Amino acid sequence: MRLITLALAALLLLIQFPLWLGKGGWLRVADMEAQVALANKKNMELKARNAKLESEVRDLKDGTGAVEERARYELGMVKQNEIFVQIVRKGQTPPLLETPVDAAAPH
């Protein structure tokens, strides 16, 4: 009787091995699901970034508003006959403006 119990226990362990540690086992499936979830998250982030870039490219091609906005905020440019006013709060240091390329070049 004891031999049959041991044999059945050994068979049960042999049957359980592929279920847990085999090629399609639960541990590997859980690991793959985690990898798929991570890849899906990264794909969603990249799709959002691509949509933003596509929108920006479309704005730059079609309209002048985006070009003007970039020139103002990134390059510090102003329109002709426009006065640039910067308000600095008490105790706040003004941000350093980059010197224009023409002003830096010796004449």
Identify whether 85 is part of a domain: no
- Rounded CA-CA distance 69/77 in Å is 9
pLDDT digits (tens, 9 = 90+) for 43-74: 999 999 999 999 888 877 887 777 787 787 78
- 20 CB-near residues (< 8 Å, 6+ apart): 26, 27
Kindly give the parts of the chain with pLDDT less than 70: 95-107
Q: How many domains does the chain have?
A: 1
Q: Can you give the pLDDT at residue 97? A: 53
Report yes or no: 72 and 66 within 8 Å, Cβ to Cβ: no
Identify whether 49 is part of a domain: yes
* Domain range enclosing 72: 24-77
Q: Can you give the pLDDT at residue 60? A: 76
Identify whether 69 is part of a domain: yes
Identify whether 64 is part of a domain: yes
Q: Can you give the pLDDT at residue 95? A: 65
Identify whether 102 is part of a domain: no
Identify whether 96 is part of a domain: no
Identify whether 83 is part of a domain: no
Identify whether 38 is part of a domain: yes
